[in-house]
Structure 1
Amino acid sequence: MALLPPDPVYTIRNVDNSPVYCLAFSFLPGGLERLLAGSKNGYVYAYNLQTNRVQQKIKVGQAPILHLIHTNSQLITQEKGGIYKIFTLTNSGYKEQHTIDNDYPGFCRFDANTKLETLFVPDRESKIHIYNFSGEKINSLVPENDSPKLGDPMCLKYIEFPNDRPLLLVGYEAGWLLLWDLNTSQCISKLQTKECPMSVDFHLEQQRGMIGNASDVIQIFSIGRKDLSLAHKLDVNIKNPGINKVCTRNDGRVFASGGWDGHIRIFSWFSLRQLVVLTEHRQAVQDVVYSTQKVSFWNANIMAAGGLDGAITLWDLYNNNKK
C-alpha cells in the first residue's frame, strides 16, 4: 500500500489571499526568524516563524514582487517591469536606499553574491548587468557576436566554485544554458537544452544541477570539475508539464520542483527518483525555498512554498538529524 503524502507543518494564508510570487527566509541577530513573501499586490509580508503571523507589511511598489533576497542588513526586491529596490534594515523597519530601473519586461529572477554585495540583473538582448548594493553598475555579461542566438535571459544561478572561482549559470529563451566566469566576464561553456529553461539550480558537492521548463521533463546536468564543461546527464519525467521553480536543499539529499499544476515534487539526489508529490496547493506553485538553518519552532530545516492560491505551506521533509 502506497504511503500517503505528509501534511504541511503549517499553512499560512497570505494577507487578502494575495498570490505569492516569491519567498525568502530571514534569520536575524537576536533570534528573529521570519519568512518574507513577495506578493502580487506589490507588498512584501514578513511572517514571524514563532507565531506564523504577519509581523511587518512592506510596501514596495504597484507591480508584483517577482523575487527578493534578505541579507543580515538588507532587503532587495525585484518588481515586474525591471525595478529593483535595495532597503536597509533599521530599528524601525526598512528604509529604501537605492533603486535600479532596468525596464526589463521578463520574469527572470535576479541573483546575488551577498559576500561581495553584487547583483546579477537580467536585461534584453541576452545581457546580464552586474550592480553593487549601492545601485551602481559595475560590469555586464554580453555574448560574443559569434554566439548562437540566445534570446532573453530566463533564469540565473550564482555559484562559487573552490579557489575563488565565481560562476554564473544563465538559461536563455532559445534553450541555451551558458556558464560565465565572473572573473573574466567570459562564457566558458554552453549546453543546448530541450526547452526554454524557466528555473535552474546547482548543488556544488553533488556537481549536478537541474533545469525546470514548460515540458514534463526535468533535465539533470553536470559541470566538469577540471574544465568546467556543461554536460547533459539524464532526464527526470514528471506527470504534468510546467515547472516554475527547481530548488536543491543545502545538504544535497533532496531537491524540489514547483509546478503549474500546483504540485510540489520532492526527488532524491541519490537515486533521482521522485519521493513524494505534495498536492496542498490549488493553483500554480511560484516559489519553493529551503531554510539555510533550523527554524527553532520545529527544530528542523523547513521548506516553504508559495503559489497563486495565496497559500504558503511549510514542510518538514526527510530531516533525520534534529539534535
Structure 2
Amino acid sequence: MSRPAPSPFYTLRGAGGPLNTLHFSCHGGDSPLLFSGSGKGAIHIWNLNTRRTEKIVEGHAGSSVIWVSRLQATDTLISSQGRDMQVCLWDLSEGRSEVVDSVWTGSVGFCQCSILETTPRNYLLAFAGQQSEEIKIIELPSKTPVCTLIPDAKLGMVMCIKLWQPNSGAGPLLLAGYEDGSVLLWDVTQRSKLSQAKAHPEPVMCMTFDTKRLRGISGSSEKKLSSWMVDRQNNLQGQLTCLTHPSPVSRSQALTGKIQECVTLVNPGVSQLCIRGDGKLLASAGWDHRVRVFGWKKLRPLAVLQYHTDMVQSVAFSDHQDPKERLLAAGSKDQRISLWSIYNEGADTG
C-alpha cells in the first residue's frame, strides 16, 4: 500500500495578504527565522521556535512585496523588492526597522531580483529595468552601475533572473528567462550573451539553478518543467535523456539549443521552483494549489503536498545546519504559509 500524503506540521497565519516570497535564515542568529513578503506590502519575520511573528516591517507604500533576501550571515540586514519599483535595504539591528538605502528599478513587472555576494559586505544586484527586455546590474552598497543587458532579438519581457559565480574563477554569470520562452546565459563582465536555448513555448515563469552541477530547471504556464545544463563552454543545452520520450536523444540534437529533458505535470502552471541545499530535492509551487516534490538527480516524483485552497506562489527550503531540522515552506494566495518536514532522514530521493 502506498503511504498517505503527508500533512504540514504547522501553518503560519496572519500575513494579511497573498504570500509572494519566502526566505529562511536558520543559522547565525539566536532563533531560526522565516521572512515572508505579502501582496499588501508587509514583510513578516516569523520566529520558527515560537511559530509566531517576531516583527512586521511595513514598506513599499503598501505595494506588493515580491522578493525578500538576507544580505549577510546575520538577520539584521535584509533587502526587499516591491511593485512600487523600489528595492529597499533594511537595518533590523537592535529592534530597528529602518530603510538605510533604496534602488529605483523602473520595473512594474513581477521579475524577482537576484543578489550575489562578491566580497564580504559587497554585492551585485540584478533587476529588471524600465525597458521590458533589459536587465540592470549594480554594485552594492555603492550603487555603482555595472552593466545593462539587452538581447539582440525581440524576446519580450524578462521574467526571471539568477546571478551566480562559476567555480572556474571567471567573472559572474547571469541566467535569464524571457516572455518568448527562451533562457539566455550572460557574461556580466563582458556584457555579452554566451548562449541561448528555447525552454518553453510560453513565458518562462520561474527557474532555479544548481551551481554545483551546472544544471537548471524552469517552469511556465504549461504542464511541463524543462531541465537544462550549462556545459564547460558555457553552452545551454538539454540533457541527453528525455523523460517524456523513451528513445535516447543524440548529442547532436542536444546541442541545437532546444531543451530535451522535461517533466510532465498533471495540471498546468508553476509559480516557483526551489532546490534544497544538499542538492537532493526539488520543490515546485503549483497554480493547482499543490506543492510537488521531486528527486533532483533523476527528477523522480516523490510527493504531492495538498493543503492550500488557492494558488501556491512561493516555496523555500530551510538552511538549518542539522539535516533533521530541515523544513519546506510554501506560501499561497490563500494568505497561509505551510511548513513541512519531509525526506530529512536520508531516504532514497533519486
* Shorter-chain TM-score range: over 0.9
Q: C-alpha separation between the residues in 1 aligned to 2:139 and 2:96?
A: 22
Cα displacement string for residues 92-123 of structure 1 (whole angstroms, at most 9, x for unaligned residues): 22211112222212100000003431210112
Question: Is the alpha carbon distance of 1:28 and 1:58 closer, same or farther for their aligned partners in structure 2, counting shifts above 3 Å?
Answer: farther
Aligned equivalent of 1:36: 35
Cα displacement string for residues 215-274 of structure 1 (whole angstroms, at most 9, x for unaligned residues): 0000011110x2011012311000000000011112111101001111100011222121
Matched, 1:96 2:99: yes
Q: C-alpha separation between the residues in 2 aligned to 1:132 and 1:52?
A: 35
Matched, 1:315 2:340: yes
Instruction: Check whether the contact 1:82–1:104 (CA below 8 A) recurs between aligned residues.
Output: yes
Report the count of equivalent residues.
316
Cα displacement string for residues 67-86 of structure 1 (whole angstroms, at most 9, x for unaligned residues): 11012342111111421111
Query: Percent identity of the aligned residues?
Result: 28
Q: C-alpha separation between the residues in 2 aligned to 1:140 and 1:45?
A: 33
Determine helix, strand or coil for the equivalent of 1:103: coil
Aligned equivalent of 1:134: 141
Q: C-alpha separation between the residues in 2 aligned to 1:127 and 1:309?
A: 32
Question: Is the alpha carbon distance of 1:261 and 1:135 closer, same or farther for their aligned partners in structure 2, counting shifts above 3 Å?
Answer: farther
Per-residue deviation at 1:5?
A: 1.2
Q: C-alpha separation between the residues in 1 aligned to 2:218 and 2:39?
A: 25
Per-residue deviation at 1:66?
A: 0.6
Q: C-alpha separation between the residues in 1 aligned to 2:38 and 2:220?
A: 22
1:74 maps to a residue whose letter is L
Instruction: Check whether the contact 1:127–1:140 (CA below 8 A) recurs between aligned residues.
Output: no
Determine helix, strand or coil for the equivalent of 2:85: strand
Instruction: Check whether the contact 1:175–1:196 (CA below 8 A) recurs between aligned residues.
Output: yes
2:188 maps to a residue whose letter is L
Determine helix, strand or coil for the equivalent of 2:315: strand
Instruction: Check whether the contact 1:143–1:187 (CA below 8 A) recurs between aligned residues.
Output: no
Per-residue deviation at 1:30?
A: 4.2
Q: C-alpha separation between the residues in 2 aligned to 1:101 and 1:143?
A: 19
Question: Is the alpha carbon distance of 1:196 and 1:290 closer, same or farther for their aligned partners in structure 2, counting shifts above 3 Å?
Answer: same
Matched, 1:110 2:117: no
Aligned equivalent of 1:79: 82
Q: C-alpha separation between the residues in 1 aligned to 2:269 and 2:190?
A: 35
Q: Which runs of 5+ in 1 are unaligned?
A: none
Q: C-alpha separation between the residues in 2 aligned to 1:212 and 1:126?
A: 19
2:47 maps to a residue whose letter is N
Matched, 1:152 2:151: no
Aligned equivalent of 1:230: 236
Matched, 1:125 2:157: no
2:40 maps to a residue whose letter is N
Question: Is the alpha carbon distance of 1:249 and 1:94 closer, same or farther for their aligned partners in structure 2, counting shifts above 3 Å?
Answer: same
Matched, 1:8 2:8: yes
Determine helix, strand or coil for the equivalent of 2:229: strand
Cα displacement string for residues 122-142 of structure 1 (whole angstroms, at most 9, x for unaligned residues): 122311111233362422232
Q: C-alpha separation between the residues in 2 aligned to 1:294 and 1:315?
A: 17
Question: Is the alpha carbon distance of 1:74 and 1:29 closer, same or farther for their aligned partners in structure 2, counting shifts above 3 Å?
Answer: same
Q: C-alpha separation between the residues in 2 aligned to 1:34 and 1:272?
A: 29
Higher strand proportion (structure 1 or 2): 1
Instruction: Check whether the contact 1:294–1:302 (CA below 8 A) recurs between aligned residues.
Output: no
Taking structure 1 as the reference length, the TM-score comes to 0.92
Instruction: Check whether the contact 1:100–1:135 (CA below 8 A) recurs between aligned residues.
Output: no
Aligned equivalent of 1:66: 66
Q: C-alpha separation between the residues in 2 aligned to 1:125 and 1:310?
A: 29
Q: C-alpha separation between the residues in 2 aligned to 1:120 and 1:15?
A: 27
2:135 maps to a residue whose letter is I
**Aligned match for 1:260, one of 287, 290, 298:** 287
1:90 maps to a residue whose letter is S
Q: C-alpha separation between the residues in 2 aligned to 1:33 and 1:259?
A: 26
Determine helix, strand or coil for the equivalent of 1:188: strand
Per-residue deviation at 1:205?
A: 2.9
Instruction: Check whether the contact 2:84–2:108 (CA below 8 A) recurs between aligned residues.
Output: yes
**Aligned match for 1:245, one of 269, 272, 275:** 272
1:149 maps to a residue whose letter is K
